[in-house]
């Protein structure tokens, strides 16, 4: 799991723009963007890492937004995971470009404690910076879920973006 907040890239941005204002320390950061790189064949590890945080964020009055590629979240899984059904919103079947733009808009609003989106490619520095800025503005967390790329020389057919089936119905 790769995590980067505003403070992690602020010094580079300040140097490029000539801004002499010191970056905020990471502990004072109002928003956070993390890329969670996971193996599709080991979804339990990702759930183990993220569920406690999502459960804690579920205690806030704000919503959780899941931007999923194809599948619909399973109501049973959401309840079993201890996530609040009444504060969880899902939008599915977005293209990768739409996912990033939707994340930026949602993070910026401040209506969500966390926005989770699936994206198969690594973020560019510009995409990352736009997400960080939106998370800062909305005092929110964003997670980019990215599957580990398979070896192109592998004998098995490459699969598309998949999310473990017990999460969805």
Beta bridge partners of 4: 33
**Has residue 134 got a pLDDT over 50?**
yes
- Model confidence pLDDT, tens digit, residues 48-74: 888 999 999 999 999 999 998 877 888
pTM summary value: 0.71
- Model confidence pLDDT, tens digit, residues 75-96: 998 999 999 999 999 998 788 7
Q: What is the pLDDT of residue 154?
A: 52
**Has residue 153 got a pLDDT over 90?**
no
Closest CA to 135 of 92, 169, 106, 166: 106
Could you tell me what percent of the chain has a pLDDT over 90?
A: 43
Length of the chain: 169
Query: pLDDT higher for 164 or 103?
Result: 103
* SS (HEC) of the chain: CEEEEHHHHHHHHHHHHCCCCCCCCHHHCCCEEEEEEECCCCHHHHHHHHHHHHHHHCCCCCEEEEEECCCCECHHHHHHCCCCHHHEEEEECCCHHHHHHHHHHHHHHCCEEEEEEECCCCCCHHHHHHHHHHHHHHCCEEEEEEECCCCCCCCCCCCCCCCCHHHEC
Q: Which of 19-28, 45-54, 149-158 has the highest mean pLDDT?
A: 45-54
Q: Which two tokens stand for residue 2?
A: 């790769």
d(C-alpha 120, C-alpha 63), whole Å:
24
Q: C-alpha 76: how far from its chain's center? A: 22
Strand order from edge to edge, sheet including 141-147: 2-5, 32-38, 141-147, 112-118, 63-68, 88-92
- Model confidence pLDDT, tens digit, residues 87-128: 999 998 788 778 999 999 999 999 999 999 998 888 999 999
Average pLDDT, the chain: 76
Query: pLDDT higher for 163 or 116?
Result: 116
**Has residue 17 got a pLDDT over 80?**
no
Mean pLDDT confidence for 10-36: 50
């Amino acid at each position: 799991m790769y995590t980067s907040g505003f403070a992690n890239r602020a010094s580079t941005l300040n140097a490029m723009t000539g801004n002499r204002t010191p970056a905020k320390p990471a502990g004072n950061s109002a928003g956070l963007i993390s890329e969670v790189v996971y193996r599709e064949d080991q979804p339990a590890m990702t759930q183990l890492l993220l569920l406690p945080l999502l459960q804690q964020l579920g205690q806030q009055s704000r919503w959780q937004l899941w931007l999923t590629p194809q599948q619909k979240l399973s109501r049973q899984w959401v309840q079993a995971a201890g996530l609040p059904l009444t504060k969880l919103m899902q939008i599915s079947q977005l293209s990768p470009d739409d996912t990033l733009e939707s994340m930026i808009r949602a993070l910026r609003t401040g209506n969500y404690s966390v926005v989770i989106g699936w994206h198969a490619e690594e973020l560019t520095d510009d995409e990352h910076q736009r997400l960080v800025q939106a998370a800062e503005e909305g005092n929110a967390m964003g997670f980019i879920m990215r599957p580990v790329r398979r070896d192109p020389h592998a004998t098995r057919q490459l699969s598309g973006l998949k999310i473990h089936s017990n999460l969805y119905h």
